[in-house]
Amino acid sequence: MSAIPKALRFALCSLRRSSTVNLLLCLCVAASAAQASIAATSLLHNEAPEFVRVDLQHRKLDLHAYRGKVVLLDFWATWCASCQIEMPHFVAWQSKFGPRGLQIIGISMDDDPALARKLYKKMKLNYPVAMGDEKLGQLYGGVLGLPLTFLIDSQGKVQAQFRGETDLKLIEEQFKPLLRP
């Protein structure tokens, strides 16, 4: 939300300079700020955008099929060191909380699927992973930095999103109350 005032301040600054070019640029900046804010906040408490992919094990991965489960949808990539720190925890959570209705789903944002497959095996991931693309990224408000994880409740609504390096305890505290006892 702080993006808009910053952009407007920039526009006012340009007005003082009486530079038409600057003003036009700043109006563009302000407009894109508004778009970015909408994209960043519109998913929260709304239905998670649905998608169907084929996972790295060549099985169909349909987000809708996980209705009734609490889903942690994790966007990651092999070049993202922070993502790899999270992975062992996700594996442990899947084992521990899977019986209570937790389902972790990974979306690799790598350009090369071979790299994702290699890491998938190395990290012994016990949850489905599919390759993402720019369309899926935009569907989720733009995946413009990793890691990015969405907490989706059993009704398919986004309850939280975690951008960047996040305290894993915080994620656990948020999904545990949503699970079956």
Partner 1 sequence: MKIGLVGRSGIATFLVFALLSLSVQLRAQHTSVPTGSAFSIPEAQLLKPEALLPLLQAKGVDKPLLLQVGSHMLFAQAHIPGSEYAGPGSQPAGIEQLQKRVNGLSRKKLIVLYCGCCPWNRCPNLGPAFAKLRDMGFTNVKALYLADNFGADWADKGYPVERGY
Q: Residues in contact with partner 1, total (CB under 8 A)?
A: 40
Site string for partner 1, 8-27 (x = CB under 8 A): --x----------xx--x--
Cβ distance to partner 1 smaller for residue 2 or 177: 2
Q: How far apart, in whole angstroms, are the C-alpha atoms of residue 64 and residue 52?
A: 8
Q: Is 42 in the site for partner 1 (CB under 8 A)?
A: no
Q: Of the listed pieces 44-52, 94-102, 121-129, 161-169, which binds partner 1 according to CB under 8 A? A: 161-169
Q: Is 160 in the site for partner 1 (CB under 8 A)?
A: no
- Residue 51: name the closest of 15, 100, 105, 7 by CA: 105
Contact 70, 178 (CB under 8 A): yes
Q: How far apart, in whole angstroms, are the C-alpha atoms of residue 35 and residue 38?
A: 5
Q: Which amino acid is at 122?
A: K
Q: Which residues pair with 73 in a beta bridge?
A: 105, 150
Could you list the residues that contact partner 1 (CB under 8 A)? 2-4, 6-7, 10, 21-22, 25, 28-30, 32-34, 36-37, 40, 77, 79-82, 109-111, 132-134, 137-138, 142-147, 163-165
